[in-house]
Every structure is written in C-alpha cells, then in structure tokens.
Structure 1
C-alpha cells in the first residue's frame, strides 16, 4: 500500500497515530508509528492483527518501515474509525452517557468480537472504552498490544481499573478476564465515569479488587436485565463467570437492534491515550493508601499487593494525552515485557 502521512490524530509517549492517505485512491486509513528501536509492542500487535478478520475487530491493512527525519519508523496501518473511541462517543451524547438501547447494541458487538477472539485462542487483556473504536458500522475492538495466546505463559498485563480479581492477584489471565473487563465497560458506558469513582490510585484499586473481593457499583438506573447481565460478567470465580457465547444469549441483548445509532456525528478523534504507573505508586504503597473510607494497614495481603505491583510496573513516565475519564484516575495501561522483572510501556490506538 502506497501512502502519505496526513494529519496527526493522536499522540502517546512513544507512538503517534496519523491519517494515512493512499497515493492511488485517496482513501484514508490510520497509521500507528513508533521509532523502530522501540517497536517491539507494536510489532507484537501487528502479529495479532494480521491474522484477524472480523467485522468486530479493527481491520489490518499492512505495515512497513520508513526513514523520516533520519529516523527509522515502524508503521502499522489499520482501518480508520472516524468517530473515535467509545469514551469519545459517550461525550458526544446529549446527556453525557448512552441510553440502554445503545449500551445493549454496543455490548452485543463487543461480545461478538470477544467470542471471535476467544474461539481463536486469543485473550485481549486490555478491554476498556479507550480501546473500543466507533465507526459507521458500529464498535470494533482495537489495540492488541497487550494481547496474548491463552496458552502463552507471559507476565500479566492490562489496566488496573478493568482487571479481574485473578489478574489483580497475579494468578492467571484467561478469557474470563476479558469478560470481567466487559462488565466494567458496560458500567463505563452507563455512567460516563470511572468504574471505581471513589478511588484515585491504582494500588488501592488492585487491593480492593484482588484482596478485598469488592465489586464495582452497578448503576441503579439500569433495568433488571442490564444489572443481571453485568453481574454475570463480574462473578468473582473466573470458572463460574459467563463466557462470550453464553452472554450473547442473555435477555439484555434481545432489546438491541442490528444498527448502531445513525445519529452519531462523524468527526476526527483526537486521542485514545494510555499512560503508566509512576513513582506515585511506590509512595502510595508505603503510605498505607485509603480504600474508600477504610485505612489499609500493613498485612501479608498488602505485601502481596506490593509484589503484584512490582511485577506490573517498572520505571515509567506518564502519557501526555488523556481522555476525560482517564484524566480523573491518572493511570491506564500497564504492560510488561517479562525480560527483566517488569517494564511498563504505553502504546495506544
């Protein structure tokens, strides 16, 4: 594919997403670029995207290496999604949140994408509103920088606010972890706010999820069917949690139609960032963080939590571009390369 770089659509700490304009047809794609020497995560994402073919997953169009301003750049070319992320779409609504029919419709499409991935043996590991992109045909799953094969033995990764209990404890990360994250996304769509609105630091989130066994609050304004659907996603035991195929048959999804709301304004998105945990995490650990109104005292569980965070986080820096929701919580994606303990990275789409 011959292409020229167009306007910048978003920036992260290491990667940039730009419009990619075809030199032959003028069609617009999206190109995610990073310096070749720092492209390990992006190359891993390319390996997954290149084998996927689903209407519920962002399409892969190719990759190449270019020499720009005396720097070799690795470029991943993908389908352009004009309406940005689910978070952007929430902000475009008149009341700053989706109605239940829209939530049902989007949820059905996300589950169909997860069912496809899981049947192939792929765990996404970072399902959240910022990694779900919206176009005319609906919502599609994007950002496979954290993805892994279910049988693959790699360090656990993802976004603390969306982590399942078994992931927060560092036990395992399978298909069920994506389902837990989906339940959190439904809450995110219903409230347009943080899933854990009363917590400001990731250490407390991990402790609350993994060691206290607490659940996010299910919005009271939702119907009984919607609440029951979320509860099936947020079952503590991953072996009892409903899988994608079971969820597709849930009554909550019966109310959705086959078309995404046609009134979504078509516009360029500006950013779908990720950032990483920084030195504040270690200060939070040492200062006995607050979980809700309860002070966490040093215990064996607290020590386990510190070990868990050490596995997830290394020397890092904050991303520069955040959505409104992500600005409130000040942290998002964690990734570890597993080669020397833990190294965090921040790729985004």
Structure 2
C-alpha cells in the first residue's frame, strides 16, 4: 500500500508524524515532533526521525531494532529511542515504527554532492572518518558487521558547542549481521548472495559472498576516497561492470590520486587490501596518523591498550617477539598502527 500522505501510517501516542524525509528498501522515514501535552518529554527529544513500514512487511525493521538495542552506547551510531505500532489514518492496517535520532545535517552523500562532486576539505574528511572508525570499532567489538557502509548511510549531526561542525553517525542497520569471528568457519558460497551497495562491496563479498568486519573496512576506504575526490570509486555504467572490476582476477584496485596527503593515501591503502586478512582493523585505524590530533568531541582519543590481533599475517609471532623492547620510549611499535604497519610493509604485498 503506497504511503501518499504524510500521516498515512498514523501518529504515535506522544508524537505527530510530519513530512517524509527519506525512503529506502525497508521503510520510509518521517520527521516527527512531540505532542505538547505528552508526559514523556524526558524520554524523547522534541524532534525525531520515525522509520515506518506496514507491520506485515516489517521483519527487517524489527531486526534493526534488536541490533540497535545491542549496540547502544556509542555516540557514533544513530540513537534509537524505541519502537511503537500505530494505526493507519484510514484504520485499515498497522504500522511498525522505529523512533530514531533526527540528524539535521542530512547524509554524508548529500554533503559530498553540495561540494559540486569536487570532494571535501581534508580537514573535514578527517573528522568524519574518525567518527566512522569509532562507530565501526564499537560495532565490531559488539560482534556485528554493518554490510552497507556508504555515504548515504552516514548522517551528520551538528556538534553541541559548534553548530557549524558536524559529528558523523552510522545509520541503517537493516543489513547488519552477527560476525563470524572464526576464519575457518566462514562459508564460501557461489552465486550472488552478497548484500549492500555494489560500489562499496569488497572483493571477498563479490567473489565468495563473505561479509565480515574487514568488508566494512574496505567500504570505509571507499567512503574516504569518495569524500576526498568527490568521484565514484569505480568507473562503470552499470552495477554489473562495477561488480566485475571488484571481483576481477587481475585484482584491480581503486585509483588513489597522488595529490592527496601522504597520511590520507596511506589510510586508504590500509583499508583497501584485496586480501581481507591484511586489511587493518577499526581499532588499529584509530591510531593512524591521518586521525591524529582530532578533538571534536572534547577529548583527544587514542586507544591505550595494544590491539589484540586476529589476522593470519601475525601468526607465528611469539609473545617474546611482541614484547621485546616494549619498555623503550622510542619503541617503533609503541602503538597498534605502527606495529601493524611495520609488519604489513615487510610483507611487500601491496600493489600500489
């Protein structure tokens, strides 16, 4: 049943549905405001985004609600205030509604388009990248994979102390799933079973239908490249052409312009290893020089604990090797990024 009026899905107990602000494969998103006489003003913000679909086809929205409940606690993931069923304005069906944080800055995709597709300033890209990395770190740490990281699934929220600057937040968890952390248990299947947007799919997703945490990191690298250049990561007139390039046996890689800073190029390369085993984790990337010195949320966040590596390229390293000279002030492996970078550089496998 098509939603032709702003209130087709009906109003909530405490809120009034406004105009539609977005539409996706799993539901439509509306702006909503609290009713003046509501007793739940402390529970809900004055303005929300309400994602709705008919109850009969709301399985994905209900799954999204469960995932968001598991992922509470990160300021870099969109906040969910709950869910509610409403009756359509004509009384013919029930609607399922997710009550979400309203992000007045729009999507990152819209922000890139406003640049005239010329790309955003690197200083701005660094801020958004840091937010996305920290959001992924929270997700992956909780055992989830997003499976559809792209500019249109990153929302911008004005910072509390500076309305001209934005915090980037990951949204749309409809395709998210539990991660299979044991590499040996990951099933390789043939045929097109991947989920997500072709432009941001990883090679292992296209070739083997494997989408785990490293696939999100690949997509992150593509998003950063898109932010910096304003151009599509892959050239191609159809989704099929793009898929063929990503899964090509000659192992093609996106073009990284040499006018980018060394830190930006290195960050992207750390995300775009075709072999997912060598791709850097979100925890390692938080320590990357590209993100140094950022304090948009009032702290200069740096992980203090050494990352627990679970990538095969680190197999065979003994604890003695890892801890050697660890007390030295000039230890070149003093943080997770430098440690991983030194090992990966030694492999000499990257093809850029």
Q: Is the 8 A contact 2:26 2:60 kept in 1?
A: no
Aligned to 2:292: 254
Q: Is the 8 A contact 2:26 2:174 kept in 1?
A: no
2: CA distance, partners of 1:214 / 1:259:
38
Q: Is the 8 A contact 1:20 1:31 kept in 2?
A: yes
1:54-69 mapped onto 2 (5 Å cutoff): 54-68=74-88, 69=90
1:135 aligns with 2:157: yes
1: CA distance, partners of 2:168 / 2:176:
19
2: CA distance, partners of 1:243 / 1:178:
9
Aligned to 2:328: none
2: CA distance, partners of 1:140 / 1:250:
20
Q: Is the 8 A contact 1:105 1:258 kept in 2?
A: yes
Q: Is the 8 A contact 1:187 1:219 kept in 2?
A: no
RMSD: 2.1
Q: Which moved more, 1:66-75 or 1:141-150?
A: 66-75
Does the residue aligned with 2:77 lie in a helix, a strand or coil?
A: coil
List, as ranges, runs of 4+ consecutive aligned residues in structure 1 with deviation greater than 6 Å: none
Task: Identify the structure with bigger relative contact order (alpha carbons < 8 Å, sequence gap 6+).
Answer: 1
Q: How far is 1:150 from its partner?
A: 0.4
Residue 2 of structure 1, aligned match among 4, 14, 19: 14
Q: Is the 8 A contact 1:20 1:77 kept in 2?
A: no
Aligned to 1:204: 241
In terms of Rg, which structure is larger? 2
Q: Is the 8 A contact 1:102 1:256 kept in 2?
A: no
2: CA distance, partners of 1:219 / 1:22:
47
Q: How far is 1:131 from its partner?
A: 0.2
1:244-267 deviation per Cα after TM superposition (whole angstroms, max 9, x unaligned): 11111111111544269xxxxxxx
User: TM-score, structure 2 length as denominator?
Assistant: 0.69
Residue 178 of structure 2, aligned match among 136, 140, 149: 149
| Structure 2 unmatched ranges of 5 or more | 1-12, 160-166, 188-192, 299-352
Residue 33 of structure 1, aligned match among 36, 46, 52: 52
**Number of aligned residues:** 259
2: CA distance, partners of 1:163 / 1:60:
27
1:1-349 mapped onto 2 (5 Å cutoff): 2-12=14-24, 15-23=27-35, 24=38, 25=41, 27-53=46-72, 54-68=74-88, 69=90, 70-93=92-115, 96-137=118-159, 138-151=167-180, 156-196=194-234, 198-212=235-249, 213-258=251-296
| Structure 1 unmatched ranges of 5 or more | 261-349
